[in-house]
Amino acid sequence: MLLAMILLVLHFRTLQSSAAQLAFKAERVELVEQMRLSVTLASEAEKSAVMAITDEDSQTYADQARSATATVERARQKLEQLLKTGGTKYGRDSLAQFSGAFAKLQRIDNDLLDLAVKNTNLKAYSLAFGPAAEVLKQMDAALVRVIAVSGNSPSADDIKVMRLADGARISALCLLALLPPHIAEESDQKMDEMEKTMAKEDQTVRENLDGLAALAHLGGNRDLLTAKLRYTRFTELRTQILKLSRENTNVRSLTISLSEKRKVMMVCLDALASLEQALEEEPIVGLPNRAPISPR
């Protein structure tokens, strides 16, 4: 009877120990699953920040990405402490691999999200297709009126006026057409080439407008003055657009997200998968040596 009682006590102690080990394993597996989910949520929010079309939306998604990343870090630190008190070398090595990749992921995200919320390319597009296009439309209409008035003047050199006015109109439209490719371009070298072409077109516009102003019968012409003022405004807008385009924050953040970020993300997820496998394979005293089903 004494032996039976001793065996019974030992059996219950083994059951209690097994239950404690199962709970300990479940807690750590749950942390890994939380980390995996939060890493995925952070990535989705980051991509939304990159693709958002307003500063407000970009900032909202960027904040969500940073919040999810902070959740991952808290779970990682807690798991690191738990693995110090129990776990296998395989598990600790897998966590170390994840920690290294996650630190790199955080650095990438910090730079990427800082770029994404600036939206300089979107702002440049907005200026190019909005105010810049509108002032050139007004300039073009004014030059059309200059041609029409000149044609009604018996002393005007119609061919010369038409040549100068159309030359200014064509070069101005070429300048406008070069802005979108410049905004979309990633290479600084190609931007430089486009800006050289723009400089030539700009010179042509100015020479033609000055040529028109030099004609005696167009001196003081209001439409010609309007055309020159509108082109001056376009030049100011073009300077703003090129500056925004050079910052290239949307293009750069998208490039980072689709290349560098994606590679590190896959390393993180693979390390988490290895870590979960290591935890599942930990033996439990008193139970068959097989991975228990973790609670979801």
Mean pLDDT of the chain: 87
The reply to whether 120-247 shares the fold of 26-117+251-280 is yes
B/e letters for 172-201, b = 16+ CB within 10 Å, e = fewer, are bbbbbebbeebbebeeeeebeebeeebeeb
Q: What angle do CA 32, 37, 41 make, to 5 degrees?
A: 145
Q: Structural domain boundaries of the chain?
A: 26-117+251-280, 120-247
d(CA 170, CA 172) in angstroms, rounded, equals 5
Contact 67, 39 (CB under 8 A): no
Contact 39, 269 (CB under 8 A): yes
The yes or no reply on domain 120-247 and CATH 3.30.300.180 is no
Most confident of 5-19, 79-93, 281-295: 79-93
Selected from 1.10.10, 1.10.3470, 3.40.210, 1.20.1440, the CATH number assigned to the domain covering 26-117+251-280 reads 1.20.1440
Q: Quick one: pLDDT at residue 219?
A: 76
> Span 278-282, mean pLDDT?
81
Q: Quick one: pLDDT at residue 25?
A: 82
Most confident of 26-30, 88-92, 216-220, 279-283: 26-30
Contact 135, 237 (CB under 8 A): yes
> Span 146-156, mean pLDDT?
67
3-state secondary structure of 80: helix
